[in-house]
Structure 1
Amino acid sequence: MSFDAATMNAERALRLARNTFEIEAAAVLHLADRVGDEFVQAVSLMAACPGRIVVMGMGKSGHIGRKIAATLASTGTPALFVHPAEASHGDLGMIQSHDVVLAISNSGESEELVAILPVLGRLGVALIAITGGVQSTLGKQARVVLDSSVEREACPLNLAPTASTTAQLALGDALAVALLDARGFREEDFARSHPGGALGRKLLTHVSDVMRSGDAVPRVLADSSFTDLMREMSAKGLGAAAVVDGHQRVLGIFTDGDLRRLVEKGADLRGLCAADVMHAKPRTVPVRALAVEAVALMEQHRINSVLVVDDAGALCGALNTNDLMRAKVI
């Protein structure tokens, strides 16, 4: 079929789009009236599963199944997707008797899926079905059936899976949400399964992961000359230097801002030492703190650098806003 943009009926395209939204929204809303004991049973089976949730489906239902499996896995329920056709050629070995199978089929008669139901029965796995065919072969063999039937598809021909796949996806999301709540899944748990995401970086990145340490941390003793202090600051490029005692305990900090203020006052700097110019009892952050805690401290007190200390107050490291930006914490 060819397409001519010049003859496209824009009004009809918009009408079809709005009609699609209305039909699919209605399909999802009807699910709310339909869920009940069967849904609770499904959640209980999945929550108590000592193995994994194996999601299966053919065609468009298979695409939905892959998404549901991914959502379950990322929210604390071990899950994987197994293609029914591949299962008949060896992949059934991925399914164990202590697993739960979540099978998705709008008709409940998908040939490849129906063909392996007897094998699943012999394995003794618990079978949950998401199907529009409650009385189908799949529906009759499943331990729990979640009805995903829809009055009609959004497709004008009432053929292409549209509203039915939306209903399947919504049921899968509902299962995942109920399961994560049942498992006591928390924000920190989500971060652990998404270490590369923004939330993962915020909740998993510690100060010790991003701070400068060792010789990279500018530091001088309290009796160091002002010249030595400035050399140390210039060499390390932090924009600040820690002032420590002989046991490396933090006594103070001197920053570029402190230098600017001294110059503006016209102070004679040549005879001064680090203790004379430092800002005593500076803000510090514990080495075990999360990087976002350092961000909050710096934002609250409007500072660009912060020193990192251990439980005894000894200098462990330092970081500034550039370090935190490179780590994508801010």
Structure 2
Amino acid sequence: MTAAPSPDSGPAVAGPEAGARALKLARETFEIEAAAVLGLKDRVGASFAAAVQAMLNLRGRVVVMGMGKSGHVGRKIAATLASTGTAAMFVHPAEASHGDLGMIKPVDLVLAISNGGESDEITVILPVLKRLGVPMVAMTGNPDSTLGRHADIVLDSGVEKEACPLNLAPTASTTAQLALGDALAVALLDARGFRAEDFARSHPGGALGRKLLTHLGDVMRKGDAVPRVPADAPFTVLMREMSAKGLGASAVVDAEGRPLGIFTDGDLRRLIERGVDLRPMRAREVMHPAPRTIRDDALAAEAAQLMEQFRITSVLVVDADGRLVGAVNSNDLMRAKVI
């Protein structure tokens, strides 16, 4: 059941006027928030570099704090830092006054976020943090505030105005905080030499994690599931092997198990279209020589790139000695969510 509008909320605008006003406000919001973010560009300087260096030198964690909307931003910043190589966590300042301060150690660094810099829940714990000897970076729109004066390093996140028509709801200010937090994370990951592989290790359940951490050995067909025939195998044997294994192709191998060629459904179709009598043929006569192969210690994503580059649907997998140990096709990679 939909609640009735509050009588104190003012007159509602309906019809075409409502749509036009909504579009106008949306565009103004984008302009105001874009200006707020761009305004940070000229204000980052020595204090930003000092904050990055302090976080790089940490033996502990970056402890992010913030109340209200700044707290929501703080949670996101802590998560971004943690996923990009900087140990970080969020501690709610109100809970800190009731025991959670025990989570913060002298080896940590506090990143306190408050637009006005006067949040009671933060200012009340500042003396305790000082006594613990915990260094503090303040992210605030008011460097002269209580928070700004107590901090070791101040990052100015101030904005000229909020996107809210009343200039009250945190909008542009929280966007600026998010952007400044992202800038810290980017600078830190670059300084740490953080790579895509490192990111994947902290995101094993995501698409990037699957692409960068899944090896061919995890998804390829192995053993008897790999279709293969010797070079002198009759065409009928080749077809039975292809049908039984369901890869849509079969490897043709030498006596030591090294691939000499491959025969695919596409090859069969083209031979039939040409009217070739296949019954007396041997595998060596119909195979496509010098097939594309990939090492068994490669990433599954590399097999996907090989398929895309050469417009093929199957790849043979070989070991360090060039012997056939597996096979993979595009359906295998899709089931593994690599592509």
TM normalised by structure 1 equals 0.92
The reply on whether 1:285 has 2:294 as its aligned counterpart is yes
Q: Distance in 1 between matches of 2:333 and 2:85?
A: 29
Deviation at 1:56, TM superposition (A): 0.5
> Which shows bigger deviation, 210-219 or 232-241?
210-219
- Seen in structure 2, the aligned counterparts of structure 1 residues 15 and 263 have a Cα distance that, compared at 3 Å, is closer
1:75-123 deviations in whole A, cap 9, x for unaligned?
2212111111112222222222111110001121111111222222222
Q: What letter is aligned with 1:6?
A: A
Question: What amino acid is aligned across from residue 296 of structure 1 in structure 2?
Answer: Q
CA distance in 2, matches of 1:308, 1:243: 13
Instruction: Output aligned runs, 1:17-36, within 5 Å.
Output: 17-36=26-45
Which deviates more from structure 2 when the two are superposed, residues 229-238 or residues 26-35? 26-35
Match of 2:178, as an amino acid?
L
Aligned partner of 2:245 in structure 1 is 236
Aligned partner of 1:256 among 259, 265, 288 = 265
Q: Could you say what secondary structure the match of 1:34 adopts? A: coil
Q: Which deviates more, 54-63 or 84-93? A: 84-93
Aligned to 1:6: 14
For residues 120-139 of structure 1, what are the structure 2 equivalents within 5 Å?
120-139=129-148
Amino acid paired to 2:237: D
RMSD of the alignment, in Å?
2.1
Alpha-carbon distance in structure 2 between the residues aligned to 1:25 and 1:321: 43
- Give, in whole Å, the separation in 2 of the partners of 1:301 and 1:150: 52
Aligned counterparts of 1:156 and 1:320: Cα–Cα separation in 2: 56
- Asked whether 1:119 is paired with 2:119, we answer no
Query: For structure 1, which runs of at least 5 residues remain unmatched after alignment?
Result: none
Secondary structure of 2:124 counterpart: helix
Partner-residue secondary structure (3-state), 2:125: helix
Q: What pairs up with 1:90-101 in 2 under 5 angstroms?
A: 90-101=99-110
TM-score (norm 2): 0.90
Structure 2: state its 5+ residue gaps. Answer: 1-5
Q: 1:148-159 maps to which residues of 2 (within 5 A)?
A: 148-159=157-168
Q: Provide closer, same or farther for how the CA distance between residues 127 and 230 of structure 1 changes in structure 2, counting only shifts above 3 A.
A: same
Distance 2:29 2:286 in 1: 70
Which of the residues 195, 200, 209 maps onto 1:191? 200
Q: For residue 281 of structure 1, report the CA deviation from its aligned partner.
A: 2.4
Question: What is the identity, as a one-letter code, of the residue corresponding to 1:325?
Answer: M
Q: How does 1:200-239 map to 2 (within 5 A)?
A: 200-239=209-248
Determine the C-alpha separation between the residues in 2 that align with 1:204 and 1:227: 40
The answer for the alignment partner of 1:49 in structure 2 is 58
> What letter corresponds to residue 233 of structure 2 in structure 1?
S
Q: Distance in 1 between matches of 2:138 and 2:256?
A: 67
Report the Cα offset of residue 310 of structure 1.
0.6
SS at match of 1:56: strand
Q: Equivalent residue of 2:42, what SS?
A: helix
What is the aligned-residue identity percentage?
73
SS in 2 for 1:229: helix
| Residue matched to 1:272 | 281
Cα deviation for residue 319 of structure 1 reads: 1.0
Partner of 2:151: 142
Using the TM superposition, give the Cα deviation of residue 245 of structure 1 relative to its aligned residue in structure 2, in angstroms. 3.0
1:323 to 305, 323, 332: 332
1:306 equivalent in alignment to 2:315:
yes
C-alpha offsets along residues 135-181 of structure 1, whole Å, 9 cap, x if unaligned? 22211111101112222222222221122212211211111111112
Q: What amino acid maps onto 1:170 in structure 2?
A: A
Distance 1:264 1:26 in 2: 64
Size of the aligned set, in residue pairs, is: 330
Q: How many Å apart are 1:4 and its aligned residue?
A: 4.6
Q: Secondary structure at the match of 1:253?
A: strand
Instruction: Name which of structure 1's ranges 255-264 and 48-57 shifts more when overlaid on structure 2.
Output: 255-264
Give CA-to-partner distance per residue, 1:207-249, whole Å, 9 cap, x none. 2222111221111223333222211110110011112234322
- Identify if the C-alpha distance between structure 1 residues 245 and 9 changes in structure 2 by more than 3 Å, giving closer, same or farther: closer
1:62 deviates by 0.1
